[in-house]
Amino acid sequence: MGMNAIELRQKNAALYDQMKVITDKASAEKRSLNADERPKWDAMWTEFEQNRKTIDTEERMEEAAKTLETRSEGPKGGKKAEPGQDPVPEKRSKYATEEYRAAFFDYIRSGNTDKLREMRAQTEGTGSQGGVLVPVTLDKKIINLLSELNVVRAASTVIVTENQEDIPVVGSHGSAGWTAEGGATVESDEAFGKVSLKANKADTMILISEELLSDSVFDLEAYLAGEFARRFSVIEEAAFISGDGVGKPNGILTTSTIKNSSTTAASNAIAADDIKNMFFSLAPQYRKNASWLLSDSVIKLIAMIKDSYGQYMWTPGLSNGQEDKLLGRPVMLSSSAPVFAAGAPAGVFGDFSYYWIADRGMPVFQRLNERYAELGQVGFRAYKRVDGAVTNPNAFSLFKIKA
């Protein structure tokens, strides 16, 4: 029987102490890890990371289970969508009824469209393709799970909209000046621009056996919410980080307007000064709410780096509820963040509330009755429309590796 999350955290605390013993010895002797120490340290780090991933998976599953047990519609009002909230209730009310939910799942389980045909307004222009909007209860579960699984989405500003959103942004600020008594005020205008949030379609399909669909014990709603959210979260997070904006969101790393950056002194290593330079490359007003977005491979390189006072710059979250931190700011780990490579970005440091995600309407489901009939299975296609963009390029700084 495997260890639970508490035991794994205790194991990781012990491993971290052992790794520090090795690096402290090398640091005291002003040298790198030798041929005997390096494989030991690497083996402990591998175990440490595997334990952490297991802990993360367990805790996310627990949070997801809590989410799936919650049927509350949450507070109303406002346009920004916090997890569990419905920012446009007046446009979704017809999808929030128990009648619609029952008709939807009757359609999903049996393919019966009679009840849905009685609700002609429920197809949002996709009737010719057989698409059906999900009920609000399922939509909220998917949104909550997306936030649990997707670190960028969880840290960003999320809005729900029915139309393309053009967000006004300030390209440059004006300034004030000293004016003599009776003198004319010097004009100093703001330079405005805009960021357009469109509707990029992400879709996927799963197969469910006819036996499972007819089994009333099978929690179809929980399965659909969990599986579709997991799939959408993977492609979304990759796009939010490095999407090229062609049929997908514009990613933070590929936003050309971001001017802040810091480059390492060496092409094959990261030093303490590199991390400090990166931290201070961001203006103070953004640093106070900033987070690091890094991959496991980059964290491994900086995990045992000390500052000039002999203190470790990275501190892992070894207790429940604690975050990993680098120079006192939270670290978000993502498998979609870039790996260490000369001449390329290795991560980003910034205030992610200035990355805006626009969910266009609700996910659409389509039941494919005939395509997999000979296999005794039914296909379910789901798609959702989403976009993302940096609304303030000054709020981010790219961590680059020397070419």
The reply to whether 87 and 167 lie within a common domain is yes
Instruction: Give the per-residue pLDDT at 2.
Output: 64
Instruction: Give the per-residue pLDDT at 172.
Output: 55
The CA–CA distances, whole Å, from 239 to 107, 255, 337, 397 equal 32, 12, 10, 18
Question: What is the β-pairing status of strands 329-333 and 291-294?
Answer: parallel
d(CA 334, CA 338): 9
- Residue 388 maps to a domain: no
Total number of domains in the chain: 2
The reply to whether 141 and 60 lie within a common domain is no
Could you tell me the residue range of the domain that residue 4 belongs to? 1-69
- Residue 293 maps to a domain: no
Quickly count: other Cβ atoms within 10 Å of residue 220's Cβ: 17
213 pLDDT tier (thresholds 50, 70, 90): confident
- Of 317, 338, 328, whose CA–CA distance to 291 is shortest? 328
The reply to whether 90 and 207 lie within a common domain is yes
- Residue 157 maps to a domain: yes
- Residue 291 maps to a domain: no
Provide φ and ψ at 302, rounded to 5°.
-110, 0
The reply to whether 8 and 111 lie within a common domain is no
The reply to whether 131 and 192 lie within a common domain is yes
The reply to whether 80 and 143 lie within a common domain is yes
Listed residues 27, 47, 69: the one ending a domain: 69
Contact yes or no for 339/298 (Cβ under 8 A): yes
d(CA 77, CA 88): 7
- Residue 119 maps to a domain: yes
Tell if the pTM clears 0.75, that is, is over it.
yes
The reply to whether 93 and 195 lie within a common domain is yes
Listed residues 44, 69, 94: the one ending a domain: 69
Write out pLDDT tens, residues 125-173. 344 355 788 888 888 888 888 888 899 999 999 988 877 767 666 555 5
- Residue 33 maps to a domain: yes
214 pLDDT tier (thresholds 50, 70, 90): confident
The reply to whether 227 and 157 lie within a common domain is yes
Write out pLDDT tens, residues 332-380. 999 999 999 999 999 999 999 999 999 988 888 888 888 888 888 989 8
Listed residues 23, 43, 69: the one ending a domain: 69
- Residue 305 maps to a domain: no
The reply to whether 136 and 215 lie within a common domain is yes
The reply to whether 111 and 192 lie within a common domain is yes
Average pLDDT over every residue of 288-316: 93
58 pLDDT tier (thresholds 50, 70, 90): confident
The reply to whether 18 and 85 lie within a common domain is no
d(CA 279, CA 326): 9
The reply to whether 60 and 165 lie within a common domain is no
- Residue 278 maps to a domain: no
